[in-house]
Amino acid sequence: MARFKSFDIAVFTALALVMLITRSHSLSQIIHLPDTSLASFFVAGFYIRSRLAMPALFALGLGIDLVVINVMGGSDFCFTPAYWMLAPAYGVMWIAGRFASRRFGASLGALPVIGAVLCGATFASELLSSGGFYWLGGRFAEPTLAEFLPRIGRYFPGTLISTLIWAGVAAACHAVTVLMTSGQNATHRK
């Protein structure tokens, strides 16, 4: 079984903190931050080698949702039997992150193709999570494809934008870390 290394722990901790802040909407009174869950799973797949990170992030998301609903008085509208469709939806993001990391690496030249992988994975994830909610959630009396497709058109753009923003933040953090590390290495060589 793969174990966490210090880098994995640092990345997981950062992703967990951002998920905690954005998913719980704990700062909603001050500023609305879009949910980072999809980007977090992609970034975790890209950087963290341990397979334990995927179920750990899912458990964190579930825990946050349960606290928001049962302790903070948040709405349970989306908490239906279809909630479990989030597992494959997040799994798509995780696998896409791992694929992008192994296939393209973390180079500046790879950003466009990694962005394309991220967009495709986000769309597939949206189909799984929104489709699961729509078809299996029990909230719609007679679900039809004709009614579902406009919902994708309505909700996917916001999901994609927030995922791209948070993935961009992760890429910027990566770039700063690389610059700082290369600067320190250059100083040590003198």
Q: How far is CA 101 from CA 10, 18, 114, in A?
A: 18, 21, 9
Rounded average pLDDT over 21-43: 80
- For residue range 9-30, what is the model confidence (pLDDT) as tens digits? 999 999 999 999 888 766 555 6
The fraction of the chain above a pLDDT of 90, given in percent, is 66
Both tokens of residue 81? 């039997």
Query: For 125-169, what is each residue's pLDDT tens digit?
Result: 999 999 999 999 989 889 999 999 999 999 999 999 999 999 999
Whether residue 97 is predicted with pLDDT greater than 80 in this model: the reply is yes
- What's the pLDDT score for residue 183? 61
What is the residue-averaged pLDDT of the chain? 88
Interatomic CA distance for residues 94 and 102, integer angstroms? 12
Q: What share of the chain is helix, strand, coil (3-state, %, to 5)?
A: 75, 0, 25
pLDDT above 80: residue 190: no
The confidence score (pLDDT) of residue 151 equals 92
pLDDT band for position 79 (cuts 50, 70, 90) = confident
Position 181 scores a pLDDT of: 78
